Chains A and B, each alone.
Chain A
Amino acid sequence: MARTGDYRWILETGLPQFVRGKPAGSYVGSAIDVTDRRRAKELDVTQIKFWEMVATQKPITEICDFLTKAIEALSDKALACLMLFEQDDQHLKLAKAPNLAKSFIPEIARIEIRRGNGSCAMAAIRRRPVVVTSIADNPLWNNVKDTALANGLNACASVPILSKGGLLGTFAFYYTDVRKPGSYDMRLLRLSSQLLAVAIDHDNHQTALQNAEQKYRSIFENAVEGIFQTTPDGRFTVANPAMARILGFSSPEELITNRIDIKGQHYVQPERRAQFQTLIDTHGKVEGFEIEVYRKDASTIWTSENVRVVRDENGKPLYYEGTFEDITERKVAQEARRELLLRIVTAQEDEQRRLSRELHDQMAQHLTAVTLGLKSLEIQTSGDSVELVKRLQKYTNKMAREVRTIATQLRPLVLEDLGLDAALSDYVEEWSKQSDIPVDLHCNGLLRRRLPVDAETAVYRIVQEALTNISKHAEAERASIIVDTRSNYVRAIIEDDGCGFDFAQKMRGPARDRRLGLINMQERAAVVGGTLNIESTPGVGTAVMLKVPI
C-alpha cells in the first residue's frame, strides 16, 4: 500500500547475500511498481470479454452487468452505477449498481432529469462528464444530498452515455470519501460510457430489426391475401399459409413442391401467362390481373393479382413477388348481375320492338286506309263538305306522323330490317335537325354486313345516349360519329367539340341526370361484354369510346 492509500502492484527481484560461502541472512534486490502494466492487462481482458459478449448477442442486461462489475473492480474503490435514459418521460432509470448500499437503491430507482438531482441528472442535461468532489457542498446535489450522505456517499463522478441518436444513459462512480476521482478512474468512466453506448445502440437496433421482422412475419403468416414469390420460368419459391389455403393445399410447402409449372398447372387459360409476362416485362408491375386458376382438387377459382418484378443488376428478372386474392364470389356476382341486366335490357328491347311493330303494322296501316278513303271522299264530294274533308285529311296526316315518331323512338324497325348503318344515319339526321348541330357520321366495314342483334342494339342505344348528352350539356358546334367494324369487334367513337368536363369529378358530382347518362352507357356496354371509356377535356370536347366484341 502506498502512502496515499492506493494499492500498488510491485514486481520484486532479489538475490541472497553470501559471506565466504555462507548465507549472510540478507538480500539484495529491486522492487518495480507494475500496477499500470497489470491494470492495462486486466482492462484488455475485460474489453475482449465485452466484445465477445456483444458479438455473440448476449442479452444486454448481462453485458451491462458484466461491464459494470468488471469496471468497478478495476477502479479505485469506486462504486459503479449505470442509469438508462427513458425517452418517454425524461427520467433516468437505475439499471446496475452492484455494490451501492441496499438502502440507497430505491432512492435512485428513478431520477428526474433536472438540476439539483445529482451528478447523473446533470451529466444527462449537459451531455458532458460531471464531477462532484463533495456531495455535501455541491448545489448540483441540493435536492437529494441527504439520502446520499446518509448512505455514506460523499463524491460522485458521472459520464453521459451518448450515441448518434442522443442520450442513452449515464455511468457513474460513487466514492465514500470526499475526493476527486483519479485520472485512471476518469479514463475508466469515459471508456465504459463508450462501450456501453455501442452495446445499447446495437441492442436497440437488433430489437427494432427483430420487431420489424416479427411484424412482417406475422403479416405474411396471418394475411388474408395470398403472398407469393415465383420464378420467371413458372415455379413458386415462396408462399404464405393463406396462399396455400386459397389453392386448397394443406401447407405452403405442399404447394411449392407440387406446383412446379404455373402456366400448365396453375392457369386455366395458359395463354394468359404470356399476357402476364408481356405486361410485367413492359411495366415492371401488374395490378389487378384477373385470372382463373386451378385449386389442388382441380376445381377453379378467380383470382386478382398484384405483382412486381425483382431484377438483377443487369435488368434480368430474378423473380416475381406479389399478392393475390380470391375474387370468385365477386366474379360470380358480377356475371349474375350482367346476365340479369342483359335479360332486363333484352326484355325491354323486345317489348319496345313489339310495340313499335304493332304501331307500324296496325295503327299506321289503318291510318293509311283512312287517308286513302278521305282522298276518295274528297274527289267525290262537293260544296261545304270539301272543307271538312280537307281538315280531316290534315288531322289524320298529323296523327300518322305522330304514330310514326313514337314507333321510331321506341325502337326503329330499320335497325332490325337494314342494320346499324341505316338506323344510325336516320337517327343522326333527325337528331341533327332537332339540335341544329351538324354531325359527321362515318361507318366503316358495315356495308352489307349484319352484326349480332345485341351488339347492334347496344351500339345504337349508346350513340343515342351520347347524342342526348351532347344536346343537353355539351354546347357543341359539331359532333362526329365513327363506327368501325372489325372481324371480332365493333368500335364506336362519338365525339363533340363542346365544353367538355372533368370525368372523375362528374362521376362524384351533383349533376345527377348526367352522371346517370354516363353510367347507363357504361352498363349498356358491359352487358354485352364491351367496354366504354370517356375522354373529356374541359374547353376542348368529349369523346365516348365504345368497343363491343362480336
Chain B
Amino acid sequence: MSKLKILLADDHAVVRDGLRVLINAEPDMEVIGEAKDGRMAIQKIIELRPDVAIIDISMPELNGIQATERIKRECPEVKVLALTVHQEKGYLDQLLRIGASGYILKLAAADELIQAIRSVAEGKTYVDREMASRITTDYLRKHSASGAPNAKELTDREEQVLRLVAHGHSNKEIANQLNISVKTVETHKANFMEKLEFKSRTEVVRYAVQRGWLRDA
C-alpha cells in the first residue's frame, strides 16, 4: 500500500518541523514537500500532486484562502486541510465554501491532526471538534426560535410603526414622522411585538425583510 502523500504550507519553520515529525511518525503517511508561502505552495502542489495539502490560513504572498481557491481550481483532486489559529466561524464558512475539506486549529493539531488527515483523504469533511459543537448549538438555536405561525392581524398603524422600527428609526423619530406621541409609538410597538410574539427588534427586521419592506429605504 502506498503512503499518503502530504504537503505542508506554513510560513513558520518551527510549525512545519513539528508537523513533519508527527506525520512522518505514522507508518502510512509521508511529507513529500513543504512551502513557506501561498505562491510556493501552489507551485509545489502542481508539481508534486499530494493527496492532502495542509495549508496555513495566514501566510505571506498569497494567503491560505486565496491559495486554496487556486488549488481547488487547478488541482481539484487535492484535498485541502486548513490549519489555523483562527477559531472564528467566519473563516471556516469561507474555507468550506471555496472547497476545503477540513479545518483544524493549531491549538488542537497535536491531538486531531492525524485523524483529520485520514478523514479528508477518505473524502470526508473534517471540522475541529470544538468548533463543530459550536456550530451545532448555533444551528439549533437559530432554527428553533422565531416566528409565530398564527400571528394576529396588525392594525394599519401598528404595521406603519413596525415598518419604521424595522428601518431603524428611534421612537422619537417615528413619533415626529407620524405626528403622534412617543408614548403612543411605544404602545403600538408593544402591541405588535405581543401579537407577533416577537421578543426583540431583530425579529422585527427579519419579519420586514421577509416581506420585502426594507428595500424602499
A460 to chain B, nearest CB (A): 13
Could you tell me the distance between the alpha carbons of A543 and B168 in the complex, rounded to whole angstroms? 10
A495-B138 Cα distance, complex, nearest whole Å? 21
B205 touches A535 (CB 8 A): no
Chain B residues whose CB sits within 8 angstroms of the CB of A493 once the complex forms: 168, 201
B90 engages A426 (CB within 8 Å): yes
A residues 439-486 near B (Cβ < 8 Å) are: 440-442, 444, 478-482, 484, 486
Closest partner residue, chain A, to B171 (CB atom): A535
A364 nearest CB neighbor, chain B only: B85
> Contacts A429-B134, A535-B172, A540-B186; is A442 near B107 (CB within 8 Å)?
no
Report the Cα distance A442→B111, complex, angstroms: 35
Contact indicator B14/A365 (Cβ below 8 Å): yes
Cβ contact within 8 Å between A371 and B110: yes
In the complex, A397→B111 CA distance in Å? Answer: 11
Asked if B152 CB lies within 8 Å of chain A CBs, one says: no
State the majority secondary structure of interface residues on B.
helix
From B88, B91, B138, B145, name the one whose CB has the most chain A CB atoms within 10 angstroms. B88
Of B14, B171, B205, the contact of A442 (CB 8 Å cutoff): B205
Within the complex, the shortest CB–CB distance from A522 to chain B, in Å, comes to: 15
With a cutoff of 8 Å between Cβ atoms, the chain A residues found around residue B134 in the complex are 429
Q: Mark B189-217, 1 if CB is under 8 A from A, else 0.
A: 00000000001111101100100001001
Q: Chain B residues near A497: list those with CB within 8 A.
A: 199-200
Among the listed A360, A404, A540, which residue makes an inter-chain contact with B58, where contact means beta carbons less than 8 Å apart?
A360
Please name all residues of chain A whose beta carbon is closer than 8 Å to the beta carbon of B15 when the two chains form the complex. Answer: 365, 368-369, 372
Contacts of B141 in A (CB 8 A): 438
Residues of A within 8 A of B90 (CB): 414, 417-419, 421-423, 425-426
Are B88's CB and A418's CB within 8 A? yes
Contact of A444 among B10, B171, B214 (CB under 8 A): B214
Contact A372 B85 (CB under 8 A): no
Task: Kindly specify which of B16-24, B31-39, B45-53 makes contact with the partner chain.
Answer: B16-24
Bound complex: CA of A540 vs CA of B200, how far in Å?
A: 12
> How long is the Cα–Cα vector from A540 to B190 in the complex, in angstroms?
10
Q: Are B168 and A412 in contact (CB under 8 A)?
A: no
Q: For the complex, what is the distance from the CA of A442 to the CA of B199, rounded to whole Å?
A: 14
Residues from 132 to 155 in A contacting B, C-beta threshold 8 Å: none
Complex contact B18–A373 (CB within 8 A): yes
Which A-chain residue is minimally distant from B60 (CB atoms)? A361
Closest to B17 in A: A369
Say whether A365 contacts B202, CB under 8 Å. Answer: no
A379 contacts the other chain (CB 8 A): yes
The CA of A403 and the CA of B205, in the complex, are separated in Å by: 37
Indicate whether A422 sits within 8 Å of B89 (C-beta atoms), given known contacts A429-B134, A482-B202.
yes
Residues of B within 8 A of A346 (CB): none
- A376 and B21 contacting across the interface, CB-CB below 8 Å: yes
Instruction: Output the least CB separation between A514 and chain B (Å).
Output: 20
The verdict on A368 contacting B107 (CB below 8 Å), with A484-B168, A543-B170 known, is yes
Hey, what's the 0/1 contact readout for B166-194 against A, CB within 8 Å counting as 1? 00101110000000000000100000000
Candidates B19, B145, B186, B217; contact of A537 at CB < 8 Å: B186
**How far is A374 from B3 in the complex, measured between Cα atoms in Å?**
24
Task: Provide the residues of chain B in CB contact with A438, threshold 8 Å.
Answer: 141
Tell me whether A545 and B214 are in contact (CB under 8 A). Answer: no
Question: Which residues of the partner chain A approach B86 to less than 8 Å between Cβ atoms?
Answer: 413-414, 417
B107 touches A397 (CB 8 A): yes
Chain A residues positioned under 8 Å from B14 (CB to CB): 365-366, 368-369
Q: Note all chain A residues with C-beta closer than 8 A to B186.
A: 537, 540
Closest chain A CB from B34 CB (angstroms):
14
* B145 contact set on A, CB distance < 8 A: 440
Distance, CA A320 to CA B179, complexed state (A)? 24
Report how far A417 CA is from B14 CA in the complex, Å: 24
- The answer on a CB contact under 8 Å between B109 and A368 is yes
Given contacts A414-B90, A444-B209, contact A375 B110 (CB under 8 A): yes
Please, which residues of chain B bring their CB within 8 A of the CB of A484? 168, 205, 214
Which residues of chain B have C-beta atoms less than 8 A from A370's C-beta? 18
Interface hits, B127-174 → A, CB 8 Å:
134, 138, 141, 145, 168, 170-172
Q: Are A372 and B168 neighbours in the complex by a CB distance under 8 Å? A: no
Q: A372-B21, A444-B214, A484-B168 are in contact. Are A417 and B107 (CB under 8 A)?
A: no
Partner of B91, one of A414, A481, A540, A543: A414
Asked if B1 is at the interface of the complex by the 8 Å CB criterion, the answer is no
Interface check A393, CB cutoff 8 A: yes
Q: Which chain A residues (153-199) contact chain B, with CB distance < 8 Å? A: none
Chain B residues with CB below 8 A from A360, complex form: 58, 85
Measured in the bound complex, the distance between the Cα atoms of B107 and A401 in whole Å is 8
Is B106 positioned at the interface, with any CB of A under 8 Å from its CB?
yes
Q: What residues on B are CB-neighbors of A419 within 8 Å?
A: 90
The answer to whether A375 touches B22, judged by C-beta atoms less than 8 angstroms apart, is yes
Q: Are A371 and B202 in contact (CB under 8 A)?
A: no
Closest Cβ of chain A: how far from B184's Cβ, in Å?
A: 14
- Taken together as a complex, chains A and B put the C-alpha atoms of A369 and B13 apart, in Å, by 9
CA distance A379 to B12 in the complex (A): 23
Nearest Cβ distance between residue B69 and chain A, in whole angstroms?
Answer: 14
Question: For residue B201, which residues in chain A have a CB less than 8 angstroms away from its CB?
Answer: 480, 482, 493, 495, 543
Shortest beta-carbon distance from A440 to chain B in Å: 4
Give residues 83-104 of B contacting A (CB, 8 Å).
Answer: 85-91, 93-94
**Contact between A426 and B18 (Cβ–Cβ < 8 Å)?**
no
A486 close to B21 (CB less than 8 A): no
- Give bound CA distance, A495 to B201, whole Å: 7
For window 65-92 of B, CB contacts with A under 8 Å fall at: 85-91
B residues less than 8 Å from A486 (CB atoms): 217
Report yes or no: B168 in contact with A545, Cβ–Cβ below 8 A.
yes
**Interface code A288-306, partner B: CB below 8 Å = 1, 0 otherwise?**
0000000000000000000
In the complex, the answer to whether B110 meets A479 with C-beta atoms within 8 Å is no
Contact at B109–A372, with CB atoms within 8 Å? yes
Within 8 A of B (CB), among A371-422: 371-376, 379, 393, 397, 400-401, 404, 412-414, 417-419, 421-422
The 6 closest A-B pairs by CB, nearest first: A372-B18, A422-B90, A480-B200, A369-B14, A375-B110, A440-B202
Can you spell out 21 A-B residue pairs with CB atoms less than 8 angstroms apart? A360-B85, A365-B15, A368-B18, A370-B18, A372-B15, A372-B17, A372-B19, A372-B22, A373-B18, A400-B107, A404-B107, A413-B58, A414-B91, A422-B88, A422-B90, A442-B202, A444-B209, A491-B168, A493-B168, A497-B200, A535-B171
B residues with a Cβ closer than 8 A to A are: 10, 12, 14-15, 17-19, 21-22, 25, 58, 85-91, 93-94, 106-107, 109-111, 134, 138, 141, 145, 168, 170-172, 186, 199-203, 205-206, 209, 214, 217
Given contacts A414-B88, A429-B89, A479-B200, 10 further A-B contacts (CB under 8 A): A364-B85, A365-B106, A368-B15, A369-B14, A370-B18, A372-B109, A397-B107, A426-B88, A444-B205, A484-B205
